[in-house]
Structure formats: C-alpha cells, structure tokens
A and B are shown apart, each in its own frame.
Chain A
Amino acid sequence: MGDKRVARGRRPELVDDAPGGAASAPPSSFVEVRDLRIHFPTDDGIVKSVDGLSFALERGRTLGIVGESGSGKSVTSLGILGLHNRRNARVSGEIWVGGTDIVGADPETVRKLRGRTMSMIFQDPLSSMHPFYTVGKQIVEAYRVHNDVSKQVARKHAIDMLGRVGIPNPAKRVDDYPHQFSGGMRQRAMIAMALSCDPELLIADEPTTALDVTVQAQILDLLRDLQQEFNSAIIMITHDLGVVAELSDDILVMYGGRAVEYASVDDAFHRPLHPYTWGLLGSMPRLDRERTARLNPIKGSPPSLINVPQGCAFNPRCAFRDLNDGRSETERPELVELEPGHQAACHLPLDKRRELWESEIRPKL
C-alpha cells in the first residue's frame, strides 16, 4: 500500500531545486523533509514562510525546531500534517512520513495518516479543544475515526489514555469539559488525545509555552516518559532553548524560513557554528551560570517574510557581517555539513567561526 504512494509522491521536476539531487531517492529515515517550501500569496506579495527546508528524524528520537516568531517553525509543523489549505498555500518539496510523501499524496490518504501515524499537540490547550464536547468525547472521536470499535470500547480506551498521561480519577474526569480542567491537566488531556491512536510521529508546537514553569516541567517529563513507552518520533517546536536542551536529540535552528544550523543537541549548545545560534544563546539570561552584568542581544528584529533580505537573511543583524567581504549581502549561504552530523549555513570561514566561538562568544555566556 505504501509503495504505490511512494511512486506517486516522486516529483521529478523538483530534483533540480534540491541540493545534491537527493530528491528522487527513497527516504532512509522515518521522517524525511526535502527542500520544503511553503509560500502564501498575499496582496502585498508572496510570504515565503518556509523556503527550502530539509531534515530527517528516526522513531524514538526528538528533533527540536527552534526559532523566533516568523521563522517558519509552526508553518512547517502544519505542513507536515498536510493541514495547509491548498487554495491559499503553495507547498512544494517532499515530506516523507513512514513511506508516504505528504506533499504529493492525495488529501484523503493524508487525512488517514493524521491522528494515526502522525499527530500534534498545540500551544493553547483551551482554545485547541472544542468547548462544547467533553474531553472523553473528543478522545473517543479521535480513536474511532481510525479504529473500528464500539463507543464503549473507545470510551474505555479514552479513560485508559487519560490515566496514562497522569490525570487523577480518569473515569470521572472523562466526562468533564475542557474548561473544567486546569491548564496543565488540559494539556495532558490534549496529549492523551494525540496519542490515542499510538502515532509514530508526534509534533508538539510550543506545548508548554502557555503553562507555568512547574507544570511545564511535569509536561516535559511526561513527554519524555511517553516517548520511551510509545517509541514515537517527536518534533518539538519552541522558542525556548531550555526546553529544547532538556528534550531533544537534534536541533534545527530556523531563521527567516530556512534552517541556519542543524546539529546534535550537544554540538548545537557546545560548538554552535552559526552567528544566529550564538546570538540566541547570548540573549538569554541563564540560571545555570554566574549572572552576567549584561545580556548580549541580537540587534534589530526578525525579518519580514515578504522581503527576506537578499543573501543571508541574518546578515543585517549579524554581529560579524564585516568579516566576510560582503558575500553575505548578495549570496545566500547553503546549509552544508561542516562536521559529521553538523550543518550550518554561513559564509564565514569555518576556522574563523570556531575561533570566534571560543574567544568571543563562549566566555560571555
């Protein structure tokens, strides 16, 4: 069943765009995104929310996608689920999930994958659950759409799931409405709903941003435990480097709709090779270090996605823009592998970057 879709999903016309011509090869990873572009035509011009993004993810592992508002991280997550309306979004490239290309497949095929093979939890669990249906009904609905079982069986499953995500007294709470839950419990219920069909891929879009810090810690623990239990792949989308460091195996740093750095979590935090990643690390006050006298913010603000600067999108804000002979102003740097498993998109010579990190950036963190 998967093979047919693989064949249909191949899009030869995109091979030219993709770096290395890898687009036609069958995916070797469970999730593989190749040269994904998601553009929204508007009256003011084309908003290039995602503009050439590639990454891969195996089951049982977690990828953290980090970026500021407008970096394209949330648009990417909706794109993986195939949730963009084809009438107002132009999606191209490939998104392979378990052998199916979401971009090329027909909508009905993608719908059947949603909720079963891949599911998602959102930032605000209150607005993300229907106010008129009980939490139990919403989980039952998610379960029964993919499993041919009676309502009673589905309800038992819902209670079981609520218990597994740590909601006390699940047999009673299953009949409560979302507004009767606290913020943390609501996010647990949301997770129970997302995991009800045992998905292989879970996308978490800012899952703890709306929560208090002690509740956030509970939810992160829960996600970690559930991943071990379900062996699912997790894509964790967040602006919080702390959350990423706690949970991820790999990190993708996005800026202006593109990946600027893609590395293992250790490399990204201990040997980052992109000035934007340095900037993010320098911007945040940290509890695990001596208090620094001053923070080192990135100057300026994130770019508009309609007029992404020519060349390197980060160039106008880059602290080291004078060090590369103006190349970054005209030529867009590609994401290239500089060390095994460590990619970055920057024109600065690698040695220079390593030197800058050791001498200028790291000591100030």
Chain B
Amino acid sequence: MNTSKTPEPAAPAGQNAAPRPAGEALLEVDGLGKHFPVTAGLLRRQVAAVKAVDGVSFSVRKGETLGLVGESGCGKSTTGRMIMRLLDPSFGRVTFEGTDITKLSQAKLRPHRRDLQMIFQDPYSSLNPRKTVGALVGAPFKLQSIQTEHGVKKAVQELLELVGLNPEHYNRYPHEFSGGQRQRIGIARTLALRPKLIIADEPVSALDVSVQAQVVNLLEDLQDELDLTYVVIAHDLSVVRHISDRVAVMYLGKIVEIADRNDLYERPMHPYTNALLSAVPIPDPAERAGRERIRLQGDVPSPMDPPPACRFHTRCWKAQDICKQVEPPLVELSPGHQAACHFPENAAAPATGLVADATAKPDD
C-alpha cells in the first residue's frame, strides 16, 4: 500500500466535514452519538455503555434521498430516532433548517414536528386498531390545530387519494386493509402536515415483494409531487440503491462510507461495503458461478466493547497493524465520496496517501 505522505492540495478534507452538498442543506447531523448506559447491581451503577451511535456526521440537502444502510445493531435506527428527537442524543448536534434542534424542549420542538415526520416499519402496530382511517389520518390536523380549507374530512380524503387509497374508505378500520394498504395509511398520516423531511425506518421490509415495489414507487412519486426530502433507513441494499440519491454505510455506530449512489455501488471503497454488496444474493442463476465472493467471518462485535481504532479490523481481510492502532477518519477520497479506511479499494493512489495524511494529524 502506498502510504507516502504526498500532499494533496485538491481536496481539503477535514475530519468531520460533511460532504459539500450542491444544494441547500435541510438537515445537518454533526458528530451525533448515543450511548445507552448498562447498569448492574442494587445501586444501578453504570458499568458500561452500549455505543449504539458513536459520532456520525452527514447532511441532507433539500429534495434528495439519503439512504442509511447497515446490519442490525449498526445504529442506523437509533440515528433516525435521534434526528426525530424520539431519543435524546448523548452528544453531537442535529441542525434542521438552520435551527439546532438537539437541545430544544418538547414545547419548542413542536413547530418543527410539522416539518419532520417518520414512517415506521410495521404499519399495523403503529396504527391504533380502534380508530377509523379518517380519525387516524386526520389526527395530526387536530394535534397541531391546523385549519383546513374544506374541513378535515375533505383534507383526509385528498390524502387517501394521494397515497392511492380509495377516499370512500374513510370510515374503515386498519384491520380491514392489507399490509401494503396499511403502510399507505401510515404514509398518508405522515403527509397530513406537509412535512419537509421524512425519516423512513425500514418502510418496506415488512411487506411482500410485489407490494414492496408499490410502496417504493409511491414514495418516489410523492417526493416529486410534494418536494419531499427523505432519509431512508434500511438493511436491504437493493431497495436502498433504488430509492436513494446518496448512501451512507454504517458499521458499529459509525459511518464507514458515504457517497453518491452510483459511485458507492459501482466503486465501493470501504472493504465492509464491498463485503455487504458481495453478500447480496443475485436473482440470476447465471451469476452463481462467476461471482467473486467476499465472505466475512464471524459476527459483528458487541457495541458495548467495539474494537479499537478501525472497528472493522477484526473481520477485515485487508487489515494491517495500523488499522488496530489508528482510527481512519472519514475523508473525501474522490469528489463527494468519503470513506473511513486506511486501505480503500477503488481509490486513486494519491487518495490513499490522503488517509495517511489525515491520520497523521489527529487534531486536524
């Protein structure tokens, strides 16, 4: 590996620099983290912490979709919940439309709630079974005491039509709908307040394949129509590729790579991203023999005691001594493409030097 410290003036890469968005940043996440305390004994003393999210930074510009992928326990859902302030961050900052919402009280947060909505994985458990669809979708209007032009009912029916449901079904209950339709109800409710940013946490993973595609298309149509911005949290790499403009890959509470969708899927730099992509089964038997496979050994280490330095080094086939000693910073290795690796793949040689450079100056 080329670790010579060739100065590379072209790309000034700071450690926490979010990728420079071309448009206006709607959401900025800076060094965000969540440590859940682990207590033991009678006195509930804290003996350890689950480092669910350990300093992630990214920004989402208006109108784009950022995909957040990773395996279970990587902290992607926790990140989503912190952005929504459903969980209070342990450290770091969330800036929405230029306002720091990290420390806002619930009362002060309320006006922002309109603009910031969430779609959940299980459409059934997030809908009260005793309420009609009309009441469920109309609830946000009442909660935020919003005046609607032709009454709440009309507004709700418009929303139902928008998400592809029959507006006549206003009076039905959630159990009368199929899984895909319930997810549409959930989406309609989310849209009631015309939010600017929607965090979708595994929006299609509970649905059947044929229905998944319906909901994915719906989300895309709504984005065009209503000028929405999405953060899509998912474990399915194919769905994320389809829906996202940019993708961030998380491993053990950290972002290991973030790039434009095509860049990431065609020229993945971080070995973990490579391994993930290689593990996805391809629905084409002709590809069975020819594929080059990377098989990770063992399991993801516990987030209570993550490996030092590069967290992936215990399972990485490229790992060398430096990976166990120095944490590689997330640096821009090609325009708009950041990776946190000492020995990235698909990167030009000078870029490798850049990592070493950034590593050599930890106070940078």
A8 at the interface (CB under 8 A from B): no
> Are B213 and A286 in contact, CB atoms less than 8 angstroms apart?
no
A185 at the interface (CB under 8 A from B): yes
Within 8 A of A (CB), among B209-228: 209-214, 216-217, 220
Residues in B with CB closer than 8 Å to A295 are 213, 216-217, 242
Segment at the interface with B among A216-224, A326-334, A348-356: A216-224
> Are A287 and B237 in contact, CB atoms less than 8 angstroms apart?
yes
Which residue in A182, A185, A245 is a CB contact (below 8 Å) of B282?
A245
In the complex the two chains form, what is the Cα distance from A297 to B199 in whole Å? 23
> Are B284 and A212 in contact, CB atoms less than 8 angstroms apart?
no
Closest residue on chain B to residue A221 by CB atoms = B295
Q: How extensive is the interface on chain A, given as a class? A: 35 or more
> Are A214 and B210 in contact, CB atoms less than 8 angstroms apart?
no
> Are A214 and B265 in contact, CB atoms less than 8 angstroms apart?
no
Segment at the interface with A among B39-47, B54-62, B272-280: B272-280
A301 at the interface (CB under 8 A from B): yes
Chain B: minimal CB distance from A125 (Å):
14
> Are A241 and B209 in contact, CB atoms less than 8 angstroms apart?
yes
Chain A: minimal CB distance from B261 (Å):
8
Segment at the interface with B among A35-43, A146-154, A263-271: A263-271
Q: Convert A240-278 into 0s and 1s, putting 1 for each residue whose CB lies closer than 8 angstroms to a CB of B.
A: 111111101000000000000000011001100000000
Which residue in B217, B239, B285, B299 is a CB contact (below 8 Å) of A266?
B285
Q: Convert B169-181 into 0s and 1s, putting 1 for each residue whose CB lies closer than 8 angstroms to a CB of A.
A: 0000000001111
> Are A294 and B220 in contact, CB atoms less than 8 angstroms apart?
yes
> Are A212 and B72 in contact, CB atoms less than 8 angstroms apart?
yes
> Are A287 and B209 in contact, CB atoms less than 8 angstroms apart?
no
Residue among B180, B181, B211, B281 with most chain A CB within 10 A: B281
Q: Tally B residues with Cβ within 8 Å of A.
A: 45
In the complex the two chains form, what is the Cα distance from A291 to B261 in whole Å? 10
> Are B213 and A296 in contact, CB atoms less than 8 angstroms apart?
yes
Q: Known: A68-B208, A214-B275, A298-B210. Is A285-B239 also a contact (CB below 8 A)?
A: yes
Within 8 A of B (CB), among A275-313: 279-288, 291-292, 294-299, 301-302
> Are B296 and A297 in contact, CB atoms less than 8 angstroms apart?
no
> Are A243 and B281 in contact, CB atoms less than 8 angstroms apart?
yes
In the complex the two chains form, what is the Cα distance from A184 to B73 in whole Å? 14
Q: Convert A174-188 into 0s and 1s, putting 1 for each residue whose CB lies closer than 8 angstroms to a CB of B.
A: 000000001111000
A213 at the interface (CB under 8 A from B): yes
Q: Known: A291-B241, A297-B210. Is A213-B288 also a contact (CB below 8 A)?
A: no
Which residue in A183, A242, A285, A301 is a CB contact (below 8 Å) of B281?
A242
Residues in A with CB closer than 8 Å to B279 are 213-214, 216-217
A324 at the interface (CB under 8 A from B): no
> Are B242 and A214 in contact, CB atoms less than 8 angstroms apart?
no
> Are B282 and A242 in contact, CB atoms less than 8 angstroms apart?
yes
Residues in A with CB closer than 8 Å to B180 are 301
Residues in A with CB closer than 8 Å to B213 are 282-285, 295-298
In the complex the two chains form, what is the Cα distance from A317 to B214 in whole Å? 13
Within 8 A of B (CB), among A229-248: 239-246, 248
In the complex the two chains form, what is the Cα distance from A240 to B284 in whole Å? 12
A215 at the interface (CB under 8 A from B): yes
Chain A: minimal CB distance from B239 (Å):
6
In the complex the two chains form, what is the Cα distance from A280 to B235 in whole Å? 20
B151 at the interface (CB under 8 A from A): no
In the complex the two chains form, what is the Cα distance from A311 to B140 in whole Å? 44
Chain A: minimal CB distance from B225 (Å):
14
Residues in A with CB closer than 8 Å to B261 are 291
In the complex the two chains form, what is the Cα distance from A214 to B277 in whole Å? 9
B286 at the interface (CB under 8 A from A): yes
> Are A288 and B284 in contact, CB atoms less than 8 angstroms apart?
yes
> Are B276 and A214 in contact, CB atoms less than 8 angstroms apart?
yes
Q: Convert B181-198 into 0s and 1s, putting 1 for each residue whose CB lies closer than 8 angstroms to a CB of A.
A: 100000000000000000
Chain A: minimal CB distance from B306 (Å):
15
> Are A217 and B179 in contact, CB atoms less than 8 angstroms apart?
no
A69 at the interface (CB under 8 A from B): yes
> Are A212 and B71 in contact, CB atoms less than 8 angstroms apart?
yes
Which residue in B209, B295, B300 is a CB contact (below 8 Å) of A239?
B209
In the complex the two chains form, what is the Cα distance from A126 to B275 in whole Å? 26
Q: Convert B303-340 into 0s and 1s, putting 1 for each residue whose CB lies closer than 8 angstroms to a CB of A.
A: 00000000000000000000000000000000000000
> Are A239 and B208 in contact, CB atoms less than 8 angstroms apart?
yes
Which residue in A241, A284, A299, A302 is a CB contact (below 8 Å) of B214?
A299
Which residue in A182, A241, A279, A292 is a CB contact (below 8 Å) of B283?
A241
Chain B: minimal CB distance from A230 (Å):
21
Chain A: minimal CB distance from B84 (Å):
24
In the complex the two chains form, what is the Cα distance from A17 to B329 in whole Å? 68
Closest 3 CB pairs of A and B: A242-B281, A297-B213, A285-B242
What are 8 A-B residue pairs whose CB atoms fall within 8 Å in the complex? A221-B295, A245-B287, A246-B282, A266-B285, A286-B282, A288-B282, A297-B216, A317-B210
* With A212-B235, A217-B281, A242-B280 already in contact, 12 other A-B pairs whose C-beta atoms are closer than 8 Å: A217-B295, A220-B281, A239-B208, A285-B238, A285-B239, A285-B242, A286-B238, A288-B284, A291-B262, A295-B242, A297-B210, A302-B208
